[in-house]
Amino acid sequence: MTLASMDDDRGRIETAMLAAVQTPDPYLTEIASHLVVAGGKRLRPVVAIAAARVGGGQVTDDVVRGGVSCELVHLGSLYHDDVIDESDTRRGVETVNAKWGNLQAILAGDFLLSKASEIAASLGTEVAGLLARTIGWLCQGEVEQLRHTYDTARSEDSYLSSINGKTACLYGTAARIGAIVAGLDRPTVDTLTEWGNAFGMVFQIVDDILDITDTTEQLGKPAGHDLVEGVYTLPVLRTLAMGGSVGDELASLLGRPLDIAERDKALAIVRANEGVESAAATARQYVAAAEEACDDLPPGAATDALRAAPGVLLESAQPAF
């Protein structure tokens, strides 16, 4: 069994996702369900379910709903993120802001957060408090990123704390909620949270590597988008830190919005040097941390799936380095 192959559960996740975005108002339902219908990997519910399975826990409907509450927070954050970035496509379709406008995207994003909170509250005070804190962590991660936009002196600490907040925490929370709702013991709940956070760090570093190395066609969105937007991720920070002619040339291009020729030049510099491999080496440390967490979990098929998942994810980006 792998994380991605839990197909029985996929139907349950889809049903619960669609149920969560039904409203009495067809206009709001259409906007709130826009990105649900458009697809997505549903990784956060998959993680919650895998966590619940560790040690033979039951995958009840409440476990599925717990995972769905995390996926709804993810979706709400995407609605808002697309407004912030003025993006016009996501998951191969028009964004909500492009199709209906910014006000609708913000309000529908808020609505998704409200649905997530309602589900979490139905699962108990601990889950509700955790989800509320996690929404705050996402905002903190995003603010940290915003504060260092176009900052070529951005520190690695800033990068790591930002991706921990904006991405990794939600995976930690998905695993934790799955474990809590399944009634697993506390040490297992804590270890699954550690696994989720480490997996989430791998996830975001891989995402940042692919933004540099993939083509626009492979990504389904413009390559080098982060560079253009002034978000300097680990491969870029590592290339800048090389100093010398490479670091200086890259620094002279960055620090301001780029036109397409400048973006391609900056991408070529990062791709031609060790920044990508060096970022992958850091991702490997988080893979190792996630694998080590699995040594403290009850053995079984679910633990094996969790142990394999971060390495598989990193290898999927391997042609890039």
Name which position in 81, 144, 208, 229 contacts ligand GRG (CB under 6 A): 81
Tokens of 82: 């697309």
**Binding flag, residue 147, ligand GRG (CB under 6 A):** no
Smallest separation, CB 8 to ligand GRG (Å): 20
Q: Which of residues 214-253 bind ligand GRG (CB under 6 A)?
A: none
How far apart are alpha carbons 199 and 309 in whole angstroms? 8
90 backbone dihedrals φ, ψ, rounded to 5° = -155, 140
Helices (H) and strands (E) in the chain, counts: 18, 2
**Binding flag, residue 139, ligand GRG (CB under 6 A):** yes
3-state secondary structure of 89: strand
**Binding flag, residue 201, ligand GRG (CB under 6 A):** no
**Binding flag, residue 310, ligand GRG (CB under 6 A):** no
Tokens of 262: 């400048």
Name which position in 21, 51, 73, 182 contacts ligand GRG (CB under 6 A): 73
Task: Give the interface segment with ligand GRG, choosing from 1-9, 12-20, 39-47, 217-225 (CB under 6 A).
Answer: 39-47
**Binding flag, residue 40, ligand GRG (CB under 6 A):** yes
94 backbone dihedrals φ, ψ, rounded to 5° = -60, 145
β-pair type (89-90, 93-94): antiparallel
**Binding flag, residue 21, ligand GRG (CB under 6 A):** no
**Binding flag, residue 106, ligand GRG (CB under 6 A):** no
Name which position in 48, 70, 123, 135 contacts ligand GRG (CB under 6 A): 135
Which of these, 321, 219, 213, 316, lies nearest to 3 by C-alpha position? Answer: 316
Task: Give the interface segment with ligand GRG, choosing from 73-81, 120-128, 154-162, 288-296 (CB under 6 A).
Answer: 73-81
**Binding flag, residue 77, ligand GRG (CB under 6 A):** yes
List the beta bridge partners of residue 90: 93
E strand or H helix at 90, and its extent? strand 89-90
- DSSP track, 74-86: HHHHHHHHHHHTT
Name which position in 97, 104, 167, 188 contacts ligand GRG (CB under 6 A): 167
**Are the CB atoms for 86 and 21 separated by under 8 Å?**
no
**Binding flag, residue 43, ligand GRG (CB under 6 A):** yes
Residues that bind ligand GRG (CB under 6 A): 40-41, 43, 73, 76-78, 80-81, 84, 91, 109, 113, 135, 138-139, 142, 166-167, 204, 207
